[in-house]
Structure 1
Amino acid sequence: MVSSIDTILAQGLAPKECAKALNELGKTLFERQDTDAAIACWEKSVACYGKPGPAQAHLMKAYNLKRRQCSQRGDSAGIEAFSQKIDALMQQSKDAIRYGF
C-alpha cells in the first residue's frame, strides 16, 4: 500500500491530479475493507492538495468508522485519538471556508 502511495507521489503530478489519484486509490482500498490504508491515502491527498474536497468527506467517514470500532472494543485511547482527528478535520474545513483556502 505504501508503495502505491509512493508511486503516485513520485509521478510529479500537479497537486489536484495527485489528490485525485490518491482519492481513487483510497476508495479502492476502503472498498476492500483496508480502512487504515485508505485513511493513509486520503491523509496524503489532503496534505498534497490542501483544499476542501472528496478526501475530507472520505476521511470523516473512515474516522467515524474507526472511532465506532474503538468504542465497540472499549478502546478509550482509540476513541480519543479518532475524535481528535475528526475535530482537526472539521477545523480545517472551517478554516478553508473562513479564509478561502
Structure 2
Amino acid sequence: MFGFSMKNAKESKKESSEEVTAERKDEILRSISLKKDKINQSSEEEQARIYEEIGLAFNELGEEDNAIDSLEKSIEIKKSLGDGYKTLLKLYNKKRSEAAKANDDELLQIYLKKMDRMMQISKDVTRGVR
C-alpha cells in the first residue's frame, strides 16, 4: 500500500542483474560480436544505435570501460537521451566517485568534465541543437 516492499523488489532485481550466468555471458558476447561486424556496413544513425546496444551489453557484463567506450562512440555519432545516455552518466558518476575516494584529482577532473559534457548534450537535445 505504501510502497515499502518496492525497495526490496528493486534491490532483488539489482542483485540478480549483477549475477550474469555463464550461458547469458556467452549469449551477450556473441551478440556483441555480431553487432561489431555490422557497424561498418551501417548508416551513421544505425552505427549510433549499434554502439549503444554494445555499450549496454558490456555494462550488463560489468565491463565498465568497454561500456563507456562504446556509449561514448554512440553519443558522438548521435546525441540522444536514451538508455545509453543514462547508463553512461551513471558510469561516469561511479568513476568520479571512485576517483574521489582514491584522492585522484586528475581522474576526478576528467570525469567531472565528462559529466558536464553530458549535461550539455542534454541541453542540446532538449533545444534541438545538433
* TM-score bucket (shorter structure): 0.7 to 0.9
Question: Are 1:9 and 2:39 counterparts?
Answer: yes
> Under a length normalisation based on structure 1, what TM-score does the superposition of the two structures give?
0.80
Structure 1 residue 99 displacement after superposition? 3.4
* 2:78 aligned with 1:49: yes
Amino acid at match of 1:50: K
Partners of 1:8 and 1:22 within 8 A in 2: no
CA RMSD, Structure 1 to Structure 2 (Å)? 2.0
Aligned-partner Cα distance in 2 for 1:63–1:36: 10
- Give runs of ≥4 in structure 1 deviating > 4 Å: none
Bigger radius of gyration, 1 or 2? 2
Give the Cα separation in 2 of the matches to 1:6 and 1:30.
16
Structure 2 unaligned residues grouped into runs of 5+? 1-32
Q: CA deviation at 1:6?
A: 6.0
**Deviation sequence 1:3-51 (CA, Å, 0-9, x none):** x68644312x233322222112111211222111100100110112233
Which structure ranks higher in relative contact order (CA pairs < 8 Å, sequence separation ≥ 6)?
Answer: 1
Q: TM-score, normalised by structure 2?
A: 0.64
CA contact (8 A) 2:79 2:121 kept: no
Residue 82 of structure 1 and its aligned partner are, at CA, apart by 0.2
Aligned residues: 97
Tell me which residue corresponds to 1:65. 94
